Structure 1
Amino acid sequence: MNADDPVLLLDLENLGTAQFRPRPLRARLEALLAAAGEVHHAVAAYARSDATEGDPLASLLAELRIAPLRVPPGPDAAELALLSHARRIHADGGRIFLVGSADGRFAELAALGRIELLVWDGQPVAAKLADVAHRVHRLARPTATSTEDTGDREQPGLEPTPPIMPTLAPTAPEPRCATTPLTRQLLAALTTGIGIAAGQRLFNALLARTTR
């Protein structure tokens, strides 16, 4: 590799990302990758017991094209693994190390080349590491952690309010004459009476003409 090819070394436990749930962990790792820019490769070290069932962290790192470096739990286990990897890179010609950690053990990299730090805003950096670092990049913590740390539960949405349809006042029925059996009989009798009276008048008129 070329001397100006940077290598990204991530100490996940020191960055506070080893125990996160998938979504905030991905958000933080993507922020670190974006800050590092183009690198020769990236490697992340973290401690896991052999008794741990599966390794979803390794799968997530592989998705992001970060080489997972899993080590047994122990004092400075992740830091020592990353320093060993850096020495191999130095032997291959690498001279630029982007370090995602604030641990003072990485001050040893000063003997291998240029050190640049990637740490979160407000994260304290060991004095001996800050003294040898050529540059310290302070990164804002991604806000995606707030949703995942609380259980990644979505707030229930409000049910959409159905539109209020205008209601028309009921139309009053047109008044109708009540027709009981008695009124029907009276109407029939009245009609019959009017007919008889008209017929009687016509008969009287005809009779009067014939007697003249």
Structure 2
Amino acid sequence: MTPPWDVYHIENYLLEPRYIPAAHRALLGTQSKYSSEEEVFDDLLRCAKQSVGVITAKKLQSLVNNQIVDQINIGTDPQAENPVPALLRSIEASRYRLSSKLDVIGQSAYLEQTRDSIREDLLSKIREGSWISEFPGRSILTLFTRDRVPRIAYEGFRNVIIDKMAESGHRPRGIQIVIERILEEPSDIPDDIPRKWA
């Protein structure tokens, strides 16, 4: 079993201001505008702030969906001569639970309060600085590529960042910990770990 990552996406390890400028220059040459790590960090932060609305909507949707799905539990005794009565009881019980839950989550006030709570949690992560590991790194890097690396596909920019990290001998500590744990067991390294970090 693969140990859990200490970041949201493996791409969070690429939100590294030390290596993004080199990747940016490699792709854009003299058009690259970055002269400091601070400038890169500020642009990554702007991308994180831009993503708050989308992340909020996705989290709210997932939360509501899970609460609805959790109310449905259909089952019967497969050994029973007639499984229908027990099946009907489980259906009716699920119908009751679902109806009760919808009475709560189907209200605008509940959804708006939950939305605001999710949004405030995300904004607090931005204020605290934990966004760099707790926001979806893939989404942030995609926004950064779209807005700051014109005419370059996300995958291409991502791969050049990895190349620059590898050239400098940098291996994200979080990935190293996962690999070390995996190598202690007869298990393969997950496919999403770049080979240059393995």
TM (norm. structure 2) is 0.28
Q: Relative contact order (C-alpha < 8 Å, sep 6+): which is higher?
A: 2
Higher gyration radius (CA): 1
Higher strand fraction: Structure 1 or Structure 2? 1
